[in-house]
Amino acid sequence: MNEATHDSTEQTDRKREERREFHSYVWGVGLALILTLVPFALVAWTDIARQTLYIVIGVLALVQMVVHFRFFLHLGLRRKREDLHLILFSALLLVILVAGTIWIMTNLSVRMALPMMP
């Protein structure tokens, strides 16, 4: 008898967990959809100044990446920390490498009058 009630609570726990995880994916898709549709619409149908558009596209892309990490890859602040550290450190390396490369190459092209800047 005891065993049976224990099993059934475990089963309702599981059902609840399944619903929660299903909702995580639905939320993820919903948010990702909005964050995709907005920049596409802005580029396709509006005449906003290019610099503003670059910033909007960049910010929305970063937010969408966070949404994907959070809702599809289930990455969170209260989960196991080592993995979050791995990802954050890789992100730091990425920023240093990419920003450094672009900085150096832009500088080079300006000084050498290469056809990089418009």
Partner 1 sequence: MSRNYQNFQYPGLNLGSAHPEAHKAAESMMFGFWVFLMSDAILFGMVFATYVTQLHATAGGPGPQDLYDIKSVFIETMLLLASSFTFGMASLSMKYEHGKAQLIGWLTITLLLGLAFLGFEVHDFLSMIDKGGAPERSGFASAFFDLVPLHGLHVTAGCIWLLGLVGQMLRYGLDTRTKLGVMRLALFWHFLDIVWIAIFSVVYLAGLA
Give yes or no for residue 82 binding partner 1 (CB under 8 A). Answer: yes
- Rounded Cα distance, 82 and 112, in Å: 44
The CA angle 11-67-52, to the nearest 5 degrees, is 165
Give yes or no for residue 98 binding partner 1 (CB under 8 A). Answer: yes
Look-up: residue for tokens 């909007």? 56
* Residue closer to partner 1 (CB basis): 1 or 82: 82
Give yes or no for residue 69 binding partner 1 (CB under 8 A). Answer: yes
Signed CA dihedral, 86, 87, 88, 94: sign only: positive
80: helix, coil or strand?
coil
Find the shortest distance in angstroms from Cβ 20 to partner 1: 11
Residue 68: closest CA among 18, 31, 19, 21: 31
| Residues lying near partner 1 in the complex (CB under 8 A) | 10, 13-14, 17-18, 21-22, 25, 28-29, 32-33, 36, 39-40, 43-44, 50, 53-54, 57-58, 60-61, 64-65, 68-69, 72-76, 79-80, 82-84, 86-87, 90, 93-94, 97-98, 101-102, 105-106, 109, 114-118
